[in-house]
Amino acid sequence: MAIAGKIPTRKYLRQDRLPHIWCPGCGHGIVMQALVRAIHNVGLSQDKTVIVSGIGCSSRASGYMDFDTIHTTHGRALAFATGIKMANPELNVIVMTGDGDASAIGGNHLIHAARRNIGITCICLNNNIYGMTSGQFSPTTPECALATTAPYGVIDPSFDLCKLVQAAGASYVARGTAMQARMLEKYITNALKNDGFSFIEAIDQCPTYFGRKNKLGDAYAMMKRQQETSVSVSKAAAMTPAELEGKQVVGELWNSPRPEYAKSYDQVIAKAQQGGGR
C-alpha cells in the first residue's frame, strides 16, 4: 500500500546538481518541493514546462529542476517568461523569483505581467531579505527589522505584494508560508490550473541573514513564528486593521478568471490574416 500523498519528487530533480547551494535551514527547498509536488498533481509534462528564474538565492531553484529551465538576468524573469509564452503559448511557463527580484529590480515587469493576465505562474519566494548578497534590506523587509544596510532598523514601509499584483490585474493570487507546505502545494496546484497570471507569495525563512541579524532563532523557530503570525482569509475578514498589524493574511486571496493575453493575441493574428484591418 502506498503512503497517501507520497509523490516521487526525485524524478523531477537534477540529481547530479544536488546537494544545492542554499544554507542549512533555508526555506527555498521546502517551497521548491511544494512546486514539484504541485506539478506532479497537475500532471505537467517535463518537456512542455519551462521554468524561468531571475537572480538571487531563490532563482537558483531552476537549475535543480529537470525541466526546460532558463536562469535570466536580475529582475527580468517575467520579461523572458512573457517572451516564451508569446512565442509558444502551448508551453506551461513557471517563474521562480525572489522578493527583491520580483518587487524591486523587476517590479515593473511584475505589474505589467499581471495587468496583461498572461498565462504564467509566478512563485515569489519571499524571505524578507537579499540573502545572496549578504543581507541588505529588500522592499518586503518588515519595518523596524535589522539588516546589513539598516543597522538601526528599516524605516521603509514594506510592500504587500499580493495586494499589488491583485490590483494590477492578476487572476489568481494566493499566499502561504513554508510551515504550511501542504497548503502551498494546493495553492500552486490551483495556480497551475488557472489560465492567466497566477501569483503565489511563498513566505519562507532566511536563518543565515534575516534570522541571525534579528535574533529569531533557528530555521524551525522562524517557520513556527511565520505560522503563528499568519491569519487565514476568513479570520482576517472579521479583524480590524489594528489587529492585523504585524500579521500576514494567508490563503487564496483572489480568484477571478478573465481573458488570457496569449489567447487574445491569437485572435488579433487571426483578424490580421483575414485582412480585416485598415
Partner 1 sequence: MTALATERKPRLFTVEVNTTYCKGCEICVQVCPKNVLAMNDRLKANVVNLKDCTGCLNCEIYCPDFAINVEEVEANA
- Residue closer to partner 1 by CB (options 137, 209) is 209
Nearest approach, Cβ of residue 269 and partner 1 (Å): 42
Give the C-alpha separation, 71 to 85, whole Å.
16
- Residue closer to partner 1 by CB (options 29, 63) is 29
Taking Cα atoms as reference points, which of 167, 77, 67, 169 lies closest to residue 123? 77
Q: Which residue has the cell 487572476?
A: 171
Give the C-alpha separation, 117 to 276, whole Å.
26
Taking Cα atoms as reference points, which of 234, 187, 232, 184 lies closest to residue 204? 184
> Which residues have a Cβ under 8 Å from the Cβ of 80 and sit 6 or more positions away?
52, 70, 72
Residues, the chain, total? Answer: 278
- Residue closer to partner 1 by CB (options 58, 72) is 58
Nearest approach, Cβ of residue 25 and partner 1 (Å): 4
Nearest approach, Cβ of residue 129 and partner 1 (Å): 16
List residues near partner 1 by CB under 8 A: 1-3, 5-6, 9-10, 13, 18-20, 22-30, 33-34, 37, 178, 181-182, 207, 218-220, 223
C-alpha to C-alpha distances, 56 to 72, 97, 211, 231, 269, nearest whole angstrom: 11, 8, 18, 28, 37
Nearest approach, Cβ of residue 31 and partner 1 (Å): 9
Nearest approach, Cβ of residue 132 and partner 1 (Å): 16
- Residue closer to partner 1 by CB (options 89, 217) is 217
262 near 92, Cβ under 8 Å? no
- Residue closer to partner 1 by CB (options 185, 252) is 185
